Structure formats: C-alpha cells, structure tokens
Amino acid sequence: MSNIHVSKGTPIVAGFFEKRTSSVQYVVADPETKKCAIIDPVLDFDPNSGATATHAADELLHFIKHENYTLQWVLDTHPHADHLSAAGYLKDKTGVPTAIGEKVVEVQKLWKEIYNYSDAFPTDGSQWDRLFRDGERFKIGDMDVEVLLTPGHTLASIAYLVGDAAFIHDTIFMPDGGTARADFPGGSARELWNSIQRVVELPDKTRLFTGHDYCPAGRKKPLWESTVAQQRAENIHLTKARTEQEFVALREKRDRELPMPKLILHSLQVNIRGGRLPETEKDGKRYLKLPLNALGDAPWNA
C-alpha cells in the first residue's frame, strides 16, 4: 500500500479547457480562506505565425478576481511538451511564487544538450521559486497539499494531492482515453506503470483531474474529472493491461505509432526556463530554436 498522506477537505476546482492544445488549466481554491493556486497555465502560441498571447492565462486571473480569491501559487506538474507554460507571465503579473518538481533539473540537463545551449544556461531549477520533492507538503490557504512524484511521461512529472482532489496531468487520461505516452526523452513506460499504481491506490472517491482531453472516438465534449474507482473499473488501458509487463508492452506499442507532439521542440525551450520566452536578441526580437533530427525518425505514414 502507498504511504501517501490523504489530507481532509474538498477544494473548489475550476477547469479551463484550452482548445488549441486540448489542455486543461486549473484554479484550485480553499473554500474557507479563498486562497487559491493555478495549476498548469497555458501561454497562447500560434506556430504558423510565431505569435504569442496571454488570453488563456488572463482568463484565469479574471476568474480569480471575479471569485474574490487570493492567488497564492502558480504550479506546474512537469515541463510540458505540447504547450508553452504561462508560469513566467503569471509570476511577472502577480508576483506570486512559481513551483515545479525538483527533478526538473534533470530535464533541463537533458534538453540543454538537445538544444546545444551554452554553459551559461542554468540547470539548477533557479527559474522557479520552489522545487518540490516527493512527499513534500505545503499549503493552499489552510488546505494541505502533498506532492507525489509520478515519473514515466517525463522523468520530472509530479501530481498535487489537495484534500479529495489529485491533479495528475499526463499520467492517466479520462477512462476512454487511457494513459499518457512515455516515449519522450527521459520517459519510461515501466515508471509510468509504477506512477499509475500510486494514483489508483488513493481512496476510491478521490477526484482525479487530468491535464488533457482529446475527445477520443469522436466524443463531443471535453472532460477532465474522474474518480479512482472509475479509473480502475473503466480505463481502457488499465482494464486491458492488468500487469506491469502487459502495460509496458501496450504502452510502448502505442507510442511507436504516435507522431511527436507538434509543439514539443517549441515548448520545451520555453518550459525549461520556467515558462519564459528566450531572451530578446540585438534586433529586439525573440527566436525559438528547432534542432533537426534530434528526436529520431518520424512515423511518416501516420
């Protein structure tokens, strides 16, 4: 059994679906103190034009103001490969601390090599105000939050357990979506299986909030909330692959068929900087760097 501490309480959770990347951003609030945190905010980015904007993040701030909440944290679950994080923008806008899991330093080291960054790029996690270790606890208002290390999708993935709610992002999707891919640099299907076991050992009624929904099988409406009991009974991967060996085989076969996310090379160079765009160059512009052939061959016929 898990040694996870299950804190009491029912936070108020609001999910905001960002349709460009099928991402879900969250505002989670302590109902007593009205203090809140933002989890996995999205910075708007159009790869065709190179345009950036803050519409999605500003919507979160507008909601917080409307609800008379006080923002206390800006949290990321991992360095995302499918969207740009708005953590840096929100830090500059509000002054509240940003945080992520401590293993982000290993992700920084890995992607520093991929992007061929100079030694001047720091790989110590200093781009965030706080780096959380597995089992570490902090507070949103008066509510206890526990950090769970959940590697597999990335080696730095964490989940946040707040009362009866767990924010698990790219670990388990909605039951009809299965589980997250584990083939990114530093990913591991075997570690993902172990992380999933940590999640499904939580109490049956624990509310699970995922970070993406791709509306599988033509489902019309995006969804992002389930329960542990629901996942155990209905998840299309967990009901099919009952053992670690079966799951690893299923996940690795599936991953070999998937193209890389469209924004992986765009987003990681921003997200390992704490959600900040590259520095302005002499001409006053910022530039993203796209290394060619860095992630292996493509599934050309996919």
How many domains does the chain contain in total? 1
Task: Identify the domain containing residue 92 by its residue range.
Answer: 12-271
Cα 160 to its chain centre, rounded Å, is 11
Model confidence, pTM = 0.95
**CATH number of 151's domain:** 3.60.15.10
CA–CA distances in Å: residue 170 to residues 40, 52, 89, 117, 299:
11, 24, 23, 27, 22
The per-residue pLDDT for 2 is 41
Edge-first strand order for the sheet with 42-46 is 51-53, 42-46, 84-85
The pLDDT of residue 300 is 76
Residues 6+ positions from 293 with CB-CB distance below 8 Å: none
Residue 40 lies in a domain: yes
263 located within any domain: yes
pLDDT per residue, tens digit, the chain (302 aa), is 344 555 678 999 999 999 999 999 999 999 999 999 999 999 999 999 999 999 999 999 999 999 999 999 999 999 999 999 999 999 999 999 999 999 999 999 999 999 999 999 999 999 999 999 999 999 999 999 999 999 999 999 999 999 999 999 999 999 999 999 999 999 999 999 999 999 999 999 999 999 999 999 999 999 999 999 999 999 999 999 999 999 999 999 999 999 999 999 999 999 999 999 999 999 999 999 999 999 988 877 76
Question: Does any domain span residue 218?
Answer: yes
**Residues 251 and 235: beta-carbon distance below 8 Å:** no
Tell me if 284 is assigned to some domain.
no
Cα–Cα–Cα angle for 261, 236, 10, rounded to 5 degrees: 85
Q: Is residue 2 part of a domain?
A: no
